[in-house]
Amino acid sequence: MWEFFRKFGEEQQKAIENNYEILRTIEEHGLGDRKFFGGDQTGVAEPVFGMVIHMLAPMEEVEGGVSSLKPVASHACMPGSGSSANAL
């Protein structure tokens, strides 16, 4: 994620896309069919990944344009999931 802050222009956009891909992989393989990373209960991972997801939009804004990437929401941070990340 931090590579974004060291890149400029097209490389910075690639860094954003890489961040989205990493989050998709974590959600697919880290969560699976579970509601939370820890199974049935929230833990530290939910608010941390919620923060990471919410940092992507400002990164795109700083990059200077409207992203062509579609918004992605982790189901661990979705309203009604009971996640502690919703309280942040």
Crossing angle (nearest 10°) for helices 10-25 and 45-63: 160
Task: For residue 54, give its domain range.
Answer: 2-87
- The count of structural domains within the chain is 1
- pLDDT, residue 40, reads 76
Is residue 17 scored above 80 in pLDDT? yes
- pLDDT, residue 71, reads 52
Q: What is the mean pLDDT of the chain?
A: 68
Which whole number is the average pLDDT over 24-44? 75
- Stated pTM of the model: 0.46
Q: What is the DSSP letter of 43?
A: -
Which whole number is the average pLDDT over 15-41? 77
